[in-house]
Amino acid sequence: MDILSCAALAVIESVALRALVSDIDVGPQRIAFIAFGLQYLVLKWYRLFLYPKYFSPWRHLPTPPGNQFMLGHAGRIFKADTPVSLFVEWMESNPDAPFIRYLSLGHSEVLLVNSPSAHREVLQSNCYSFTKTDRLRKMIKQFAGEKSLALLEFDEHRQHRKMLAGILSPASIKQLAPIFTATVKELQNMFDAAIESNDGKTGVIDCTYTYSKATLDAVGISIFGVDLAQTRNAGLVRHDNDNYSFTDAYEDIFAPSTLGKVLFALNAFIPIRWLPLEANQKFMFASRWLNETLAGLVRERRQKITGAIAAGKYDKQSRDLLSFLIEESLPGGTAAGISDRHIADHLLVFLGAGHDSSADMASWSTHIMATRHDIQDRLRAEVLDLVSRNPEPSSADIEALPYLNNFYRESLRVYPPGMTMHRQAATDLTIQGVFIPKGSIFDLAPAVTSMNPLIWGDDAREVNPDRWDAATITSEQLATWSNNVFSNGPRICPGKGFAQLELKLMLFHMVLHYRFLSVEGEFTVENPALTLRPHGLRVRIEKISG
């Protein structure tokens, strides 16, 4: 719009100047070009340096120091210990402010939603006054189609959210408990292999690798009803890997090299996927492979189900989300008419979110137990007590354990796996007395409210499961908007119940059979990243006899 405005004004000025000065020895095109260049430079200088400091309606909001020339605070965010550690520092300096303003690339303004009440207005009261940001859409579209729930807006989002509600209802998720139990068996095999490969007494696991493999298998079976590690695409093979699989595709997309992570983040600002770099080539192949393979799975499953129905041999007792969604997409179903493209895109996002987030949650829970043996011992005591009374407890029995539930909630509060939600105002509005022009960009980081000392106390950064006890927890801490781990409002994560049951069952069996002794060496947190992922987190484990 700035370019068009400058161009139109330059043409008008050129015509006016020629009319006023008839003997000027310069062509109208050159006059227009010079006028355009000068005006555009002046406008950019104003936007970059004058507007944020002197004219922005947000200039009076808390703005952190450390702004860098042309980079704003973006450079510092990418160099921080984690992708959200600076957000938490800024919040701690202004814990009661509704918003904190910071500058991104090109000194563009971004509002960090800071207080619980501001979160409520953005995520609930005015949910559909916001859309996903253009930048986020570009990031998601790099690996997922435009028809996923993550990118749908307004009435289309409401419609598809309603369609998917039954698929991820508590009753449907309970049916997945046997799958999660099977995942635990695979984890035990990997734990045992690590111990046997060492001295037979203790072993060391790489948490990110171990849990990623286990959760990918669980998510694959629960979503698609197939073993993703064994799924191939004969029509699309990479020249250096004839056995390319889902595991390879997810490594290339979500766990690339440092250059790959930088390219993933930068492509949301500047189109750079065309650059002939190996990281780009791997990403583009993985994205294409993933989309084509999922489309094939959806197509084959639909043919199988409709064929069985036509033959009168289909038992409508789906055991995976793909079958359930295809069943409900048939005439009379809750998702009647939904296209195969929508189904593939929805499940692709579920696959990514369910796999990465669950693995990260398990990794951070393991880190807590390995560094806080007092917490681990209390968990084990509660688990052993249940098993002594009921040797084969149900998933409901496990979910009802009070200290396990407290530990689960506290782990997510301190280490929320989802990093940042991004929103863009679709209309002018006012929130917490702050005028929000259309097009304004917002960041919502769960860690901002879950670490707020005004809500959680001066020990907000410490892990303390007891803070969730019914006798001590406050109404403000229990408020939905004080802990936005899975987002909230109409766009709350549909897989919340899925992740909760999966992690609780994993934790139950892990502390029943193993001790987590210590963290081995140093580790880092990936930045940039889509989730709070520890890199190089290695934990020493010991099997419990009997």
| Best CA proximity match to 157, nearest among 132, 121, 136, 125 | 132
Q: What is the DSSP letter of 233?
A: -
Euclidean distance between CA atoms 207 and 194, whole angstroms: 12
Which helix (DSSP H) or strand (DSSP E) does residue 291 occupy? helix 278-310
Residue 214 CA to residue 29 CA, distance in Å, equals: 65
Those residues with Cβ within 8 angstroms of residue 322's Cβ, 6 or more apart along the chain or in another chain: 223, 224, 225, 297, 298, 301, 343, 347
Determine contact, residues 498/173, Cβ cutoff 8 Å: yes
The greatest distance separating any two alpha carbons of the chain, rounded to the nearest whole angstrom, comes to 102
Starting at the earlier edge strand, list the strands of the sheet with 109-113: 99-103, 109-113, 441-444, 421-425, 130-131
Could you tell me how far CA 110 lies from the centroid of its own chain? 19
Outline where 46-80 has alpha helix (H). 74-79
Coil, helix or strand at residue 518: strand
Give the Cα separation of 192 and 148 in Å (integer).
39
Tell me how far the alpha carbon of residue 109 is from its chain's centroid.
22
Element at 109 (helix H, strand E): strand 109-113
The answer to whether the CB of 177 falls within 8 A of the CB of 395 is yes
C-alpha–C-alpha distance, residues 63 and 40, integer Å: 27
Residue 207 annotated in ligand binding:
no
- Cβ–Cβ under 8 Å, residues 455 and 467: no
Question: Which of 247, 524, 240 has its CA nearest to residue 367?
Answer: 524
Dihedral angle at the C-alpha atoms of 217, 219, 221, 226, nearest 10 degrees? -70
Q: In DSSP terms, which residues pair with 525 in a beta bridge?
A: 534
Q: Is the peptide bond before 83 cis (omega within 30 degrees of 0)?
A: no
CA 81 and chain centroid, separation: 18
CA distance 542 to 520: 14
Tokens of 75: 């450079």
Element containing residue 130 per DSSP (H, E):
strand 130-131
The CA-based dihedral angle spanning residues 354, 355, 361, 362, taken in that order and rounded to the nearest 10 degrees: 130
Phi, psi dihedrals of residue 526, rounded to the nearest 5°? -65, 135
Tokens 């070009």 — which residue?
33
Where is the binding site for heme, in residues? 493
Residue ranges for the known binding site are 493
